């Protein structure tokens, strides 16, 4: 086991390390820190030393507000959808208090340095097919947010690319469960129930008609 490096009293961006919480995550010491805005948060040592986390989340919120003001995107209390996408992306990857952090930053998904600049992200989005209603999709679900690994997709396309979307092979054809459900005209929920809960064979799950209530 690597020797623990004492970070007590050290500053990382807006955060000052106060003490070791005694908790460990993914082999990292979890430190209790105070932000310059006076909020206190727990942060893993790796996120501090790598520069992934430099505030309690206030920095990103300020960047969003500043960007909306500078670029004229905040009008009548509304913010441009791309700014919300940018903000949410950063929060998922860098704010340990975010409800989805464990599925993003918590498993090593990061935002490339270029996209920490809101305008760089906006420029990329508008030049690469963003339209209202589309979502930001990572091509490789284990890869990070960067131009070469991202695209704009419909929610259906995005759902098909989720890492927990099971692949099913039947009659020599392999598709996601969502795609099979669409092809055989069965709801994804029903198909999942048949395969994952009732443990039906694939052939039966895909071919048995759904009983309709009278």
pLDDT band at 212 (very low <50, low <70, confident <90, very high): low
Q: Are 141 and 109 spatial neighbours (Cβ–Cβ below 8 Å)? A: no
CB burial of residue 120 (10 Å; 0-12, 13-18, 19+)? middle
What whole-number distance in Å separates Cα of residue 58 and Cα of residue 94? Answer: 11
Beta bridge partners of 12: 15
**Measured between alpha carbons, how far is 79 from 64 in angstroms, rounded to an integer?**
9
Whole-number pLDDT of residue 150: 92
Please write the tens of the pLDDT for every residue from 40-76: 889 999 889 988 888 887 776 666 556 555 555 544 4
Cβ-contact 175, 167 below 8 angstroms? yes
pLDDT, tens digit (0-9, with 9 covering 90-100), for 173-182: 877 777 788 8
């Amino acid at each position: 086991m690597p020797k623990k490096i004492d970070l007590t009293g050290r500053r990382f961006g807006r955060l000052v390390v106060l003490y070791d919480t005694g908790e460990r995550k993914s082999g990292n010491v979890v430190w209790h820190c105070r932000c310059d805005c006076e909020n206190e948060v727990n942060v893993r040592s790796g996120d501090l030393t790598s520069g992934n986390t430099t505030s309690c989340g206030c920095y990103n919120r300020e960047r969003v507000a500043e960007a909306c003001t500078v670029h004229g995107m905040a009008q009548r209390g509304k913010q441009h959808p791309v700014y919300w996408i940018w903000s949410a992306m950063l929060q998922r990857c860098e704010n340990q208090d975010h409800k989805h952090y464990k599925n993003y930053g918590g498993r090593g998904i990061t935002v490339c340095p270029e996209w920490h600049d809101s305008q760089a992200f906006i420029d990329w989005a508008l030049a690469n097919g963003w339209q209202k209603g589309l979502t930001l999709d990572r091509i490789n679900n284990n890869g990070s947010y960067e131009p070469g690994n991202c695209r704009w997709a419909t929610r259906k396309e995005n759902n098909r690319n989720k890492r927990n979307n099971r692949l099913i092979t039947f009659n020599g054809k392999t598709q996601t469960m969502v795609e099979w459900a669409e092809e055989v005209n069965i709801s994804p929920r029903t198909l999942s129930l048949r395969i994952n809960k009732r443990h039906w064979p694939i052939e039966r799950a895909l071919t048995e008609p759904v009983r309709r209530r009278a």
